[in-house]
Amino acid sequence: MIALKAWAKINLGLKILNKRDDGFHNIETTLTTTNLADFIRIEETDSGIIIDTQGLNMPAEENLCYQAADLFKKKYGVEKGVRINLIKNIPIGGGLGGGSSDAAAVLKGMRELYALNINDEELMELSKDIGLDVPFFIKGGAAYARGKGDELKFFKLPRMSLIIYYPGYSISTKWAYQAYDEFIVASPQPDPEVFLEKDSGKKKNKKERKGFPLANDFEKVIFKHHPDLVDVKTRLLMAGCFLVSLSGSGSCLYTLNDESMRDKALAYLAGIGAQYFEVSTI
């Protein structure tokens, strides 16, 4: 039997650049894993794929763990079956990548279970067929992501202490992108490339570009539909947190704070009966 942890991620800023011809969006964001995790156990069976879940109610075939196992078996000609036990701790629809992380953990676990000589790069390429952010979770850590989110550049990031707030409901990523597109049509935004090339009337070399502010473009639309998140963000900033931001398309907010501000933030969240997680980046 193989036991693994599937780590949650947060987005340190997220910029939506434009909509692509293939229906996806070009984005840029920094991803980092945290020590909030789902727990997965994988064991060999005679045949088939069995998914045992706690904290998740959906048909087995719709579970990304099932899809990952099925893809792995077909790709590498595995005739034996697997039983996958999944215990969910990462909130579903919270922008923390739980489903994608679970799928990545299954791919890595099956590689170990069947003792196959498959490197991470090969698994990352295979995992693109499951979801755009699954490749990131094969390696984990921190990475700058561009394109559809599948162009990754990994780097070292100092450890950070965070608090993740979960409002008790999920937000669909598909809906969030649709809402953002409708927002852009109603309120057209300047082409970001204009600002890259504009500096006191002179063109700026794109190679000189040094990143983007830690802001999440989804907040422009998510906060309109979920004003409760605005209130929580405001209160956490008032408590002294250095940064409060939506992760991905939400619904979770995360805070970046030091020990002097931690108690104030936790006191506020406890006072409103919030569900939250104290985590660190890994």
Omega before residue 249 within 30° of 0, cis: no
139 is an active site residue: no
pLDDT exceeds cutoff 90 at 209: no
Token pair in block for residue 221 = 């639309």
Choice among 38, 73, 108, 133 that is catalytic: 133
Closest listed residue to residue 195, CA positions, set 26, 15, 22, 19: 15
pLDDT of 204 higher than 70: no
Query: What's the whole-number mean pLDDT along residues 57-80?
Result: 93
DSSP 239: T
Domains of the chain: 2-156 (3.30.230.10), 162-280 (3.30.70.890)
- Is pLDDT at 147 greater than 80 in this prediction? yes
* Share in percent of the chain as helix, strand, coil (round to 5): 35, 30, 35
Task: Calculate ∠ Cα 26-162-140, nearest 5°.
Answer: 50
Whole-angstrom Cα distance, residue 211 to residue 162? 22
128 has pLDDT over 60: yes
Q: What pLDDT was estimated at residue 74? A: 97
Buried b (16+ CB within 10 A) or exposed e, 211-244: eeeeebbbbbbbbeebeebeebbebbeebebebb
The catalytic residue among 9, 73, 108, 233 is 9
Residue 206, helix vs strand vs coil: helix
pLDDT, tens only, 40-49: 999 999 999 9
Tell me what pLDDT residue 57 has.
76
Active site residue 52: no
Tokens of 241: 């947190």
Outline where 133-246 has alpha helix (H). 134-139, 173-186, 192-197, 219-225, 227-238
Residue 212 has a pLDDT of 42
Q: What is the pLDDT of residues 236-260, one digit of tens each?
A: 999 999 899 999 999 999 999 888 8
